[in-house]
Structure formats: C-alpha cells, structure tokens
Homo-oligomer: A and B are copies of this chain.
C-alpha cells in the first residue's frame, strides 16, 4: 500500500497554489498517493474561466473570482503586474505554469476534491469547475488525512 499525502488548498494565491501543486506532483514522483482538497479561495484553482454566482451577492463575488491563469501572487501583485512578472520569470527558468502542473497532477492520478460547502456559499456550481474533480465535504478530507503520512493546510 502506498504512502498518502493530503493537501488542503485554502488559498487562491498564485504562489501558494503553485507550492501546493509542486508538493503534490513531487509526492507522485516519489510514488505516494495524493489528495488535494480545494476550499474557499482555493476553488479558483479548479474554476473554468466563467462568471459564477446566482444571487446579487453571489454575482458580485463572482466578479472577483479568477481561474487558475488569472490568480495573482500573495505579495507584489500590483494590480496584476506581479502576476505577469512572475509568469515571465518562471518561464525563463523553465518552471511549469500552474495550468501545466494541474494537468500533470490530474493525469498522474492526484485526487482533486472541491469543497461542497464553499461551493454552496460562494455560489460556484459543479459546471463552473474543470473536468475530473469530485465534490465532497470535510469528511472526505478527514478520511484521507487520517490515512496520510502528512497533511498540509496551504
């Protein structure tokens, strides 16, 4: 039986989501089993480039929610400039983009779970998310975490 890793992706910052995917794909390379739980702002890492929200407040929130290509770094975003700068600096050093890392994560069998409660509160539907994502509650995280070698909250 393989060793397991569980990662909660709470943050929607480009740099933190990147750290999450690098640890996840790294653990796969080390022949571990990986589960990622996307909650709150982290849902942006699974969102298609669509406008979400049904109620008035949900639609307002939806204006601010990005997809994985649109999220900016936790520091020095400067209205989107930092995002572009970091993408360029990463490309120059041959570091994979978030889209590529996510693709590899999915293809290599990382279990991706979107948090049902966050989706309800933020009015994000399953159709707003990319393919290959399960929807689950805190129970699905706990079931994985108690079998995991280590768990991280990012």
Contact = CB atoms under 8 A, between A and B. Distances in A.
Contact of A58 (B75, B89, B137, B154): B89
B19 A40 contact: yes
A40 B15 contact: yes
B32 A146 contact: yes
A104 interface: no
Q: Say what secondary structure dominates the interface of chain A.
A: helix
B23 A74 contact: no
Interface string A137-154: 111011001101111111
Copies of the protein in its oligomer: 3
A145 B139 contact: no
Given A145-B150, A152-B153, A61 B76 contact: yes
Contacts of A8: 19, 152
Given A23-B138, A26-B139, A57 B89 contact: yes
Contact of A151 (B15, B76, B150): B150
A16 interface: yes
Contact of A57 (B10, B85, B139, B141): B85
